[in-house]
Structure 1
C-alpha cells in the first residue's frame, strides 16, 4: 500500500519537473527570438553569456 503511494508521488513530481523544463525552454526560445529582432548580434551575445547563469540559478535556486 505504501509503495503505491510512493510511486504516485514520484510520478507526480517527475511530471511537474518535466513540464517546468519545457516551459523554461519555450521561454528561452521566445526570448532569443525577440532579443535577436530588437538588439541583433550584440543582444544575442549577451543572452548567450547570461544563459548559463540563469540555468545555474534554476538548478541551485
Structure 2
C-alpha cells in the first residue's frame, strides 16, 4: 500500500475529501504498519476499514 500508487491514491483522496476504503481480508495485523504510515503521512485522508478490519478476538 505504501508504493507509488498507494501514496498517490491517499494524496488525491485527501485533496478531494474522498475517503479511502480498505478491506483487509486476512486481518489488520498484516497491514497495520503500512496503514499507520499512510495515515501519518496523509492526515487529511479519511480511512474506512471495511468489515471492522476483520479483527479477530484473542484465542
Higher relative contact order (CA 8 A, sep 6+): 2
More helix by share: 1
Q: Kindly name which structure, 1 or 2, has the bigger radius of gyration based on alpha carbons.
A: 1
Q: TM-score, normalised by structure 1?
A: 0.30
Greater share of residues in strand: 2
Q: TM-score by structure 2 length?
A: 0.31
